Structures are given as C-alpha cells and as structure tokens.
C-alpha cells in the first residue's frame, strides 16, 4: 500500500473534480489524501511515497501558489514518485493536448527547476453562467479567438475522462 498525496490548485473547482476521479482510481489498495493547495500550502510531504500536483490555468498562468509549493518542496519531490498535470481549455484542441504540445505546460516547465517524472494535460470546463461579468466577457473573447463555443448561457466540459482514468492508472503504477 502506497501513501499518495494529490494536491491541487484551482479557481472554479474543476481541477478538484479531476483529482477526485484520480483519487477514486488510485484509492484501490492505496491510502490517498486529496488536499487543496490554498488550504494547506505548508503541508509536509515527507510521509508520502508519491506526490501528484494538479493546477489550472487562468489568464494564461498557473497560480503563484503552484510555483511557491514546487520551490519549497523541490528536493523532497525529487525523492519520491511524482507527477504534475495542467488543466486548461486550449488542451481541447487535439494539436495542443499532450504535455509536449500544450503551450502552458511547456512554458511552466521552463520556469521551474523540478523535472516531474510523469506529466499530463487535461482540457478543462467553461461554465459561463457561473462567472462574473468581467470573467465571462474575457473568457468568451478568449474562446472566440480560439474558435471555441461562446454561448454565455451554456456550460462546456471538454475533459476526456478516459484520459484522466489512464493517468490514474499511471499514478498507481509509478
Ligand atoms: C476567467 C478565465 C480565464 C481563463 N483563461 C484561460 C487561458 O488563458 N487559457 C486557457 O487555456 N484556459 C483558460 N481558462 C479555462 C480554465 O483553465 C478552465 O476553465 C479550467 O477548467 C479551470 O479549472 P479550475 O476550475 O480548476 O480553476 C480560463 C477560465 C476562466 C474562467
């Protein structure tokens, strides 16, 4: 039985939903803790055998808390089985949905010293009705630029859950 930490950075909760799915897969025979980075930024990762970090993109960036967490835990992360994944809507496009082809994940990797052993990128969700006026207008514009859906009354979930499940199995195997 491995002790696994899945720690996530989210704004609207979709990265948490992905982590819950990963947890349900990895929980088979393992002890899995699911933690919000914003709630426990200083969590001690020493007791864990494996650490998985998930983070979403907003306005082109992962949150500063993700950089801070990785910086603080760099040495400890390298001593464990580890993985990192990013959630963004650009990943709905087939040519941008792998760790090698997703621009946000690539840019992120260039900014951190840590080299995660396992990487993934998942397409996120656009929930227009839940956003305030400013965010709704901005993300509609971003989607329009990328030829995505812009109906402000609708919710669009682009996540490939089979891909999430596959990553969950990789976490078990790593
Ligand atoms: C205001 C806003 C800005 C966003 N900016 C980007 C962006 O620049 N690029 C992108 O690919 N996705 C962008 N997204 C999409 C999010 O990454 C997507 O909604 C994701 O599922 C959010 O995950 P979370 O709920 O865990 O925060 C944006 C979403 C919102 C609401």
Given pLDDT bands bounded at 50, 70 and 90, which one contains residue 153? very high
Whether 138 is in the pocket of ligand 1, judged by its Cβ within 6 Å, is yes
Whether 123 is in the pocket of ligand 1, judged by its Cβ within 6 Å, is no
Residue nearest to atom 13 of ligand 1 (CA): 58
Q: 34 C-alpha to center of ligand 1: Å?
A: 21
Residue nearest to atom 14 of ligand 1 (CA): 58
pLDDT of residue 139: 96
Given pLDDT bands bounded at 50, 70 and 90, which one contains residue 22? very high
Mutation pick for ligand 1 pocket among 12, 38, 58 (CB with most ligand atoms within 8 Å): 58
Torsion of CA 35, 41, 43, 48, to 10 degrees: 60
pLDDT of residue 108: 97
For 37-95, the pLDDT digits (tens) are 999 999 999 999 999 999 999 999 999 999 999 999 999 999 999 999 999 999 999 99
Q: Which two tokens stand for residue 120?
A: 């993934």
Whether 27 is in the pocket of ligand 1, judged by its Cβ within 6 Å, is no
Mean residue pLDDT across the chain: 97
Rounded average pLDDT over 139-148: 95
Residue nearest to atom 9 of ligand 1 (CA): 60
Given pLDDT bands bounded at 50, 70 and 90, which one contains residue 28? confident
For 104-117, the pLDDT digits (tens) are 999 999 999 999 99
pLDDT of residue 169: 96
Closest approach atom of ligand 1 to CA 135: 1
Whether 15 is in the pocket of ligand 1, judged by its Cβ within 6 Å, is yes
pLDDT above 90 covers a percentage of the chain that reads 98
> In angstroms, rounded to a whole number, what is the distance separating the alpha carbons of residues 51 and 3?
9
Whether 11 is in the pocket of ligand 1, judged by its Cβ within 6 Å, is yes
């Amino acid at each position: 039985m491995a002790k696994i930490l899945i720690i996530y950075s989210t704004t609207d909760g979709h990265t948490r939903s992905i982590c819950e799915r990963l947890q349900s897969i990895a929980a088979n025979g393992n002890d899995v803790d699911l933690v919000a980075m914003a709630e426990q930024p200083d969590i001690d990762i020493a007791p864990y055998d494996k650490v998985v970090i998930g983070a979403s993109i907003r306005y082109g960036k992962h949150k500063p808390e993700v950089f801070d967490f990785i910086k603080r835990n760099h040495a400890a992360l390298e001593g464990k089985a580890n993985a990192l994944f990013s959630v963004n809507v650009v990943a709905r496009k087939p040519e941008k949905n792998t760790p090698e082809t997703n621009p946000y994940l690539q840019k992120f990797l260039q900014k951190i010293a840590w080299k995660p052993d396992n990487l993934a990128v998942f397409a996120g969700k656009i929930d227009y009705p839940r956003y305030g006026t400013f965010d709704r207008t901005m993300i509609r514009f971003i989607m329009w630029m990328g030829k995505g859906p812009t109906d402000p009354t609708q919710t669009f979930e682009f996540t490939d859950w089979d891909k999430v499940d596959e990553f969950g199995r990789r976490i078990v195997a790593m």
